[in-house]
Chains A and B, each alone.
Chain A
Amino acid sequence: QVQLKESGPGLVQPSETLSLTCTVSGFSLTSYGVNWVRQPPGKGLEWMGTIWNDGSTDYNSALKSRLSISRDTSKSQVFLKMNSLQTEDTAIYLCARGGGYNSGYAFDYWGQGVMVTVSS
């Protein structure tokens, strides 16, 4: 079955770089895209960026200067790197599969998320 699982450090120092991994199973990264979404505590969802099945990327314009998404198809892993972290980047970070055209480009499967706290 389709599964996604995020991993990474729970605590990051201000001004440092966040590195997260989304490990997927049950589908191929060359067939589906993967998105990163974050949710600050008690707040709403924010789309961060996507890596399409062809390896191209799109980013939220508000985060574009700080964000990079890449992948290793042989390991079924998608990576997020975001630099210059501030306390307002404290959030649950989730990866989600892009369902493609037949699913209206909605995100059809989600990981459980990983909590990242930015604090010294």
Chain B
Amino acid sequence: DIQMTQSPASLSASLEEIVTITCQASQDIGNWLAWYQQKPGKSPQLLIYGATSLADGVPSRFSGSRSGTQYSLKISRLQVEDIGIYYCLQAYSAWTFGGGTKLELK
């Protein structure tokens, strides 16, 4: 089974700051990687699919990138509404979520 190691587990950042979250795949998964945001009491919302494609309605301050088997989600200028928990999801072989990153305001 493919494992997804997400880091950091928690992150505190200031408004307008650049935030980066990473996921390391245990094997090659190509571009079959998605990112989600989950707010308290809500279902996850798709942000990025195909490693780099922005989902409909998602602000352009969110972006995804890939370097080998490492995947990154970048928030270019952190806003209050970006606070929540972020998950990666590999879709190359079945599906596996990363452990999550809790993003808080500093």
Q: 19 other contacts beyond A47-B89, A47-B97, with CB at 8 A cut-off?
A: A44-B97, A44-B98, A44-B99, A45-B36, A45-B44, A47-B94, A50-B95, A61-B1, A96-B43, A104-B33, A104-B34, A104-B50, A104-B51, A105-B91, A106-B46, A107-B89, A110-B43, A110-B45, A111-B43
Q: Are A44 and B44 in contact (CB under 8 A)?
A: no
Chain A residues with a Cβ under 8 A of chain B: 35, 37, 44-47, 50, 58, 60-61, 94, 96, 99, 103-108, 110-113
Distance in Å: Cβ of B85 to nearest Cβ of chain A: 8
Q: Which of A45, A60, A94, A104 contacts B91 (CB 8 A)?
A: A104
Task: Specify the chain B residue showing the minimal Cβ separation from A62.
Answer: B1
State the CA gap A107–B96 with chains docked (Å).
12
Q: Which of B31, B32, B46 contacts A108 (CB 8 A)?
A: B46
Q: Are A46 and B97 in contact (CB under 8 A)?
A: yes
Residue B53 at the chain A interface, CB threshold 8 Å: yes
* Set of chain A residues within 8 Å of B43, measured between Cβ atoms: 94, 96, 110-113
Task: Specify the chain B residue showing the minimal Cβ separation from A110.
Answer: B43
State the CA gap A106–B45 with chains docked (Å).
11
Q: Which 5 A-B pairs have the closest CB atoms?
A: A106-B34, A104-B50, A105-B91, A110-B43, A104-B49
